[in-house]
Structure 1
Amino acid sequence: MTGIDSVQLEKVIVHKIGNPSRGEDLHLSENPLTLNDEIVRGLLTKYFLGAFNENELFHFTHISDLQMNEVYRYVAAIFEDRESFMEQAAYIARFLYTKSTHVKVKEGELYVVQFDNVPFEGEYIPAIGIFKSETKESFLRVFPHGKSYEVLHEEGVNINKMDKGCLVFRTNTVEGFKVCVVDSTNKNNDAQYWVEEFLQITPYADSYHNTDKVLNLCKQFITQEYPEKFDVSKSDQIDLLNRSMDYFKSKEQFSLQEFAEEVMHHQEVVDTFMDYKKNFESAKNFELNDEFAIHINAVKKQQRVFKTVLKLDKNFHIYIHGRRDLIEKGVDEMTGKKYYKIFFDEES
């Protein structure tokens, strides 16, 4: 998140959250942090807010009634009555403790934070932050000792790396607020307790969400399903990745039918892609729109993970940006080694 210089850090309380399945305890603080040092306030603000992508928005949900979503209810109570902050923060901590039983959930500090003047969608509004630090890093502290220096080892939190975070903006209350989320320690879906069991949030079905998820669908299809179902080389996969990204970069609107015709070309590939899309939606438990406005920020985000590098053993990396017809693959009869022949006009 950018433009956070105006943010006011109103209250911060820290609770210790263990894993009950390992016999670790819950330790609740009796008082919020004393924040008299402006440098510390600035560092905390950067730590809490720096990792969020305000374009990727979620909202609280529940299968039967939104009011039964515990975190939504506790946060709404703080927005309604600022004096209830301590009480509701304790409820949040107790609830997280009950959801921290997965074997991979680590003990850590829970921060509940009351913000004001947070920039969001052209306004400056109140927000509630819920953060958990699980990863400790080693630091060396050098200090003078007489006429010499000594070094001590300490463990602490890296303020440039947020483990888990949730930022709730005071807007869209009836729909479950607008929420940003970070979960950098469970990118492989090993222990999705933070998003699925604790927060119980779901993405807003907006242009950012649709663009991001369809590009993610394309990447997974091309790198996993496409080579499994068809006899294609790595360069063919990269070519299809490039054509997919070029479509999103050159269009303002996404059309599934148009995308299939312009990018996939062959009907058997299109049919396989459509089947993969259905399975993808079922596994992720959401439905992707067949038509939507393309969000340029989502395209830029996904472009960073669209790998278009052809790696040949440990000797060569070939960056392919287009023109699959200028690459020829073969096998040398004398050595039995594979080769790529690349045609070009000028060397630069």
Structure 2
Amino acid sequence: MIYHDETQLQRICINFVGNQTQQESLVTSETETFLDDEMKNLLKDYFLKSFKPEILFEFFHQNSLDQNEVFTLVSEIFEQPELLENQSKKLAKLLFDVSINPRTKGGEFYVCYFTDCVLKGERYDAVGLFKSENKDTFMQVSPSDASFKLETAKGINLNKVDKGCIIFNSKKEEGYIISVIDGTSRAETSYWMDDFLQLKQKQDDYFDTQETLTVYKDFITKQLPQEFEISKADQAEFLNNSINFFKEKKQFDFEEFSKEVLKDNEVIESFSNYKTDYEQEMQVSISEDFAINNAAVKKQNSSYKSVIKLDKNFHIYVHGDRKLIQQGQDENGKFYMLYFEEEK
């Protein structure tokens, strides 16, 4: 949650952004929408309650940041909030221009100005961009003579926002600090984050933790078996030791990680080369010394489940000591021998 009781929705302008391929229109508002206090509080909760600012983003452009049009328009709103209505039209037009995927839904587009939004204990003014695409059916019950009358109506479900971003007025020179919600699968359409906002993930402790765990898992499961003679049980031990390192430590240090987890000098060199190739291919730079982010570790934890799959008959889930697993072969075929103290 990024707001508290003192967070205020100061200004809001609403437009409708349709899908061009569906012959839908762009309809812009000529004035800001003026709300009473009750409606402001209701909308503040609707817009902001679903944000979990663990993964943060920033505006970018492959040539120059000031060529990112949303960045430029938002910057002008921060300088002069009274320009919100005019800038909202320009933002709506930009969104309309990229709404060309047949699966993109038209919907109301809200441009908001907030004060006293909270991020990591600090308060900032913020610009919010939101789009409501899905309509739910609601039932209305009203008295009618000696009975009751039932009617249905289509409306916006205030439990969740479909698409949104909060742009905090901080670190402008880096593309601001941005938290994002996109309820649509990135596999279906990326028009909100990539085409409209043009964002990239901010390099912070979450990013470094996430990327280090990602590249290490890829190395263990893909590269290591190609270079070294290693069993599935050995791979499981590498994965368990690495995720436990991240769970137990507060700070990541590459040399310490190498000594405690990788251990072998040839494996350490191989991982270093693999990490360098990964950074070049993905066009990222991953720090070798950073504070470990527990939220990123928790999210990656499920992908670090160590499973040995044996034909279609058995799966062995490895959680602990590699020494309790032995592998062999006899006249009946290959086998694993597991040692344990207690059956549960």
> What TM bracket, shorter-length normalisation?
0.7 to 0.9
Classify 1:41/1:239 alpha carbon distance in 2 versus 1 (closer, same or farther; 3 Å): farther
How many residues align? The count is 343
1:89 partner letter: S
Distance 2:58 2:173 in 1: 10
Q: Which residue of structure 1 aligns with residue 193 of structure 2?
A: 195
Distance 2:218 2:85 in 1: 44
Deviation at 1:73, TM superposition (A): 1.1
Distance 2:307 2:6 in 1: 42
Which secondary structure does the structure 1 equivalent of 2:172 belong to? Answer: coil
Unaligned 5+ residue runs, structure 2? none
Distance 1:159 1:231 in 2: 56
Classify 1:271/1:71 alpha carbon distance in 2 versus 1 (closer, same or farther; 3 Å): same
1:23 partner letter: Q
Q: Which segment is superposed worse, 227-236 or 136-145? A: 227-236
* Candidates 270, 286, 289, aligned match of 1:288: 286
Which secondary structure does the structure 2 equivalent of 1:162 belong to? Answer: coil
Which secondary structure does the structure 1 equivalent of 2:164 belong to? Answer: strand
Classify 1:153/1:250 alpha carbon distance in 2 versus 1 (closer, same or farther; 3 Å): same
Q: Which residue of structure 1 aligns with residue 296 of structure 2?
A: 298
The structure with the largest alpha-carbon Rg is 2
Q: Which residue of structure 1 aligns with residue 5 of structure 2?
A: 5
Q: Which segment is superposed worse, 120-129 or 313-322? A: 313-322
Q: Which residue of structure 1 aligns with residue 104 of structure 2?
A: 105
Which secondary structure does the structure 2 equivalent of 1:212 belong to? Answer: helix
1:215 partner letter: L
1:285 partner letter: Q
In 1, are the aligned partners of 2:2 and 2:52 still within 8 Å (CA)? no
Q: Which residue of structure 2 aligns with residue 141 of structure 1?
A: 139
Which secondary structure does the structure 2 equivalent of 1:174 belong to? Answer: helix
Distance 2:338 2:148 in 1: 59
In 1, are the aligned partners of 2:139 and 2:150 still within 8 Å (CA)? yes
Classify 1:158/1:275 alpha carbon distance in 2 versus 1 (closer, same or farther; 3 Å): farther
In 1, are the aligned partners of 2:129 and 2:165 still within 8 Å (CA)? yes
1:213 partner letter: E
Distance 2:63 2:265 in 1: 41
Deviations 1:150-206 (Å, cap 9, x if unpaired)? 655554444444332221111222332222223342344x53332233222333332
Tell me, yes or no, if structure 1 residue 76 matches structure 2 residue 75.
Answer: yes
Distance 1:46 1:224 in 2: 45
In 2, are the aligned partners of 1:138 and 1:153 still within 8 Å (CA)? no
Which secondary structure does the structure 2 equivalent of 1:105 belong to? Answer: coil
Q: Which residue of structure 2 aligns with residue 241 of structure 1?
A: 239
In 2, are the aligned partners of 1:212 and 1:298 still within 8 Å (CA)? yes
In 1, are the aligned partners of 2:140 and 2:153 still within 8 Å (CA)? no
Which secondary structure does the structure 1 equivalent of 2:340 belong to? Answer: coil
Q: TM-score, normalised by structure 1?
A: 0.80
Q: Which segment is superposed worse, 196-205 or 69-78? A: 196-205
> How do 1:108-257 residues align onto structure 2 when only pairs under 5 Å count?
108-134=107-133, 136=134, 138-144=136-142, 146=144, 152=151, 154-188=153-187, 190-222=188-220, 238-257=236-255
Classify 1:327/1:110 alpha carbon distance in 2 versus 1 (closer, same or farther; 3 Å): farther
2:90 partner letter: Y
In 2, are the aligned partners of 1:140 and 1:151 still within 8 Å (CA)? no
Deviation at 1:143, TM superposition (A): 1.5
Which secondary structure does the structure 1 equivalent of 2:58 belong to? Answer: strand
In 2, are the aligned partners of 1:110 and 1:131 still within 8 Å (CA)? yes
Deviation at 1:81, TM superposition (A): 1.0
2:5 partner letter: D
Deviation at 1:71, TM superposition (A): 1.0
In 2, are the aligned partners of 1:142 and 1:149 still within 8 Å (CA)? no
Classify 1:114/1:153 alpha carbon distance in 2 versus 1 (closer, same or farther; 3 Å): same
Unaligned 5+ residue runs, structure 1? none
Deviation at 1:30, TM superposition (A): 2.9
Classify 1:2/1:204 alpha carbon distance in 2 versus 1 (closer, same or farther; 3 Å): closer
Q: Which residue of structure 2 aligns with residue 86 of structure 1?
A: 85
2:253 partner letter: S
RMSD across aligned C-alpha pairs, in angstroms?
3.7
Distance 1:231 1:47 in 2: 55
Deviations 1:4-59 (Å, cap 9, x if unpaired)? 33211112222222232443321212333343262x43342233222333343332
Distance 1:279 1:153 in 2: 58
Tell me, yes or no, if structure 1 residue 343 matches structure 2 residue 339.
Answer: yes
Distance 1:307 1:137 in 2: 38
